[in-house]
Structure 1
Amino acid sequence: MDILTDIYSLKQLLSTYKSKGKSIGFVPTMGALHDGHLFLVNLAQKDCDIVVCSIYINPTQFNDSNDLENYPVTIEQDIKLLKTQKCDILFMPSHDEMYPEGLKTNNFELNNIDKVLEGSKRPGHFDGVCTIVHRLFSIVEADYAYFGEKDFQQLAIIKQVVKSLSLPIKIKSGETVRENDGLAKSSRNTLLTKEERQIAPLIYKSLMKAKLAYNKSSYEELKKMIIDDINNAKGMELDYVEIVNPSSFNPLKNKTENDQAIALIAVFLGNIRLIDNLSLND
């Protein structure tokens, strides 16, 4: 595996592959890799000749400085995992490489799906995400990029950026990878205490309960069911839960036969914020 830290070297290497007609798959990450990331690398390997993974903790997408400071860093372990997975290239740029003019973000036309849920709770978050993803796309110039469905709203927003800017890249998604007890794999899981880790699977269980009750309950009843589960759990504090249309992100109120419904949730468990989602009627 080639490990590169500067844009020039990465572009030089990729140009040699592209000149030979090789297809490029790209998996952008912030490190602290887990099975969810490796699943995306594996998807990319099935589609593409060469797979690039990036590790860059992007400061502009953190609206909480404590969250940025505490974000887990496991570079040696990450490199080992990617080598085992037979990833071709790891790109680990510095802040100066990624933000040569300082930590500034750009504005993007996102059809207002950046204004709700994560967007309303984390002001500026998606500006930071879109800025760094657009920058990485322009550097790697991959054929495909891969994102996890756990960050469902982020995935939708990145698809919107690609569409609105007519970027020459196709976005593919990987289903949420879960622990045996249902907890969605996340880099932040490592920050949970032993007791918190035992409580955390309740998030997924509450979503599953709503899914099973979908046919016989209103949206209001389904939301209340999830809210009650979280409020009754020791140490959990609900940040938001909403049942929305997965394309428009508009909240669903009255059921119709053709509804597509996905529940999205964010919960604080101690100081750690966890997100998850589940399609309720697929």
Structure 2
Amino acid sequence: MTSLAIVRTVSDLRRAVAEYRAAGRTIGMVPTMGALHEGHVSLVKGALDRGDVPVASIFVNPTQFGPNEDFSAYPRGEADDFAKLEAAHCRIVFAPSVEEMYPGPQLTTVTVGGSITEGLCGPFRPGHFQGVATVVCKLLMMATPDRGYFGEKDYQQLQVLKRMARDLNLPVEIVGMPTIREPDGLAMSSRNRYLSAEERQRALAMYRALVTAANAVRDGRTACATAEAEATQSLLKAGFDKVEYFSVVDANTLAPLAKVTGPARIAAAARLGRTRLIDNIAV
């Protein structure tokens, strides 16, 4: 088995990718912030299944965290992450410093506007998607992959990146991969490790509420507002401290829907103790 190449600089990343390019291989990039779980591993497998050489990045990006968010406390475990990537047959991991990613003042950012960022997490995390779009654009320009792999668990982020690639004519296909869940339905997330045992059980109510709402609004049988209100109340009764949103939106534009008449997505964000959980499912 080819061992995992660990690179820390942009020049070394480009050199490592160029060797596979010279051999006629395509490149699949998996940007991550570390604290890897099976959801991340599934993205590496997705790249392998399409014949790409998997190139992962591990970088906790400070520009996508707000002033009261968990940047300093965000879980980190580089050695464990490297072991998981090697076991998954990833070929290159780019693990840069903040100084390597942001060498000096950054006067250029990438902003995706419209309904894709105006709703859902947008109002609750000002500047977040600008930080995400900017760092992912930088990573894609650094590694020049053929495809970038992202999980549908962060569905709004996925739509933001698809639109960015389209609007900027980036020569990369943004591939969405299915959400990976625990056997009881909880969406895998690096932040799940913040949950206490009791909170972990309460968290299951989010997926149940999403499924119930999806069944209710499918084919326009129930008004979206009704399903949203009922789901919000069910989460509060289950012990969630605050529901930031529970919304039925268009699957592509993320604009709010009154009735479901085509492809839709139901997305939710709620706080349980000190943990902010998000999830979504297709309708």
Q: 1:99 to 1:224 in 2, by over 3 A?
A: same
Give the structure 2 partner of residue 243 of structure 1: 248
Give the structure 2 partner of residue 226 of structure 1: 231
Q: How far apart, CA to CA, are the structure 2 residues paired with 1:153 and 1:183? A: 18
Q: 1:218 to 1:49 in 2, by over 3 A?
A: closer
Return the letter of the residue paired with 2:209: S
1:63 aligns with 2:60: no
1:203 aligns with 2:202: no
When normalised by structure 2's length, the TM-score is 0.94
Out of 213-222 and 138-147, give the one that drifted further: 213-222
Give the structure 2 partner of residue 77 of structure 1: 80
1:268 aligns with 2:251: no
Give the structure 2 partner of residue 114 of structure 1: 117
- 1:109-258 aligned at under 5 Å gives the runs 109-215=112-218, 216-255=221-260, 258=261
Q: CA deviation at 1:225?
A: 1.8
Give the structure 2 partner of residue 20 of structure 1: 23
Q: 1:21 to 1:77 in 2, by over 3 A?
A: same
1:3 aligns with 2:19: no
List structure 1 segments (4+ residues) > 4 angstroms apart after TM superposition. none
Q: CA deviation at 1:64?
A: 3.6
CA contact (8 A) 1:25 1:50 kept: yes
Where do 5+ consecutive residues of structure 2 fail to align?
A: none
Q: Per-residue displacement from partner, 1:44-94 (whole Å, max 9, x unpaired)?
A: 011134110000000000014441111111211111111111110111001
Q: How far apart, CA to CA, are the structure 1 residues paired with 2:143 and 2:245? A: 35
Q: CA deviation at 1:113?
A: 1.4
Q: How far apart, CA to CA, are the structure 2 residues paired with 1:112 and 1:210? A: 22
Q: CA deviation at 1:214?
A: 2.6
CA contact (8 A) 2:29 2:149 kept: yes
Q: How far apart, CA to CA, are the structure 2 residues paired with 1:149 and 1:172? A: 9
Q: How far apart, CA to CA, are the structure 2 residues paired with 1:203 and 1:77? A: 29
Q: Per-residue displacement from partner, 1:122-149 (whole Å, max 9, x unpaired)?
A: 0000110011000000000000110000
What is the aligned residue count?
278
Return the letter of the residue paired with 1:127: Q
Q: Per-residue displacement from partner, 1:163-201 (whole Å, max 9, x unpaired)?
A: 010000011111000011111000000111111111111
Return the letter of the residue paired with 1:131: T
Q: 1:105 to 1:125 in 2, by over 3 A?
A: farther
Return the letter of the residue paired with 1:248: T
SS at match of 1:97: helix
CA contact (8 A) 2:270 2:276 kept: yes
Return the letter of the residue paired with 2:70: D
CA contact (8 A) 1:96 1:102 kept: no
**Between the two proteins, what is the percent identity of the paired residues?**
38
Q: How far apart, CA to CA, are the structure 2 residues paired with 1:190 and 1:165? A: 36
SS at match of 1:217: coil
SS at match of 1:244: strand
Give the structure 2 partner of residue 39 of structure 1: 42
Q: How far apart, CA to CA, are the structure 1 residues paired with 2:52 and 2:188? A: 27
Q: How far apart, CA to CA, are the structure 1 residues paired with 2:76 and 2:245? A: 27
Q: Per-residue displacement from partner, 1:197-255 (whole Å, max 9, x unpaired)?
A: 11111100111111222344221221122111112122431011111111121111145
CA contact (8 A) 1:5 1:94 kept: yes
SS at match of 1:168: coil
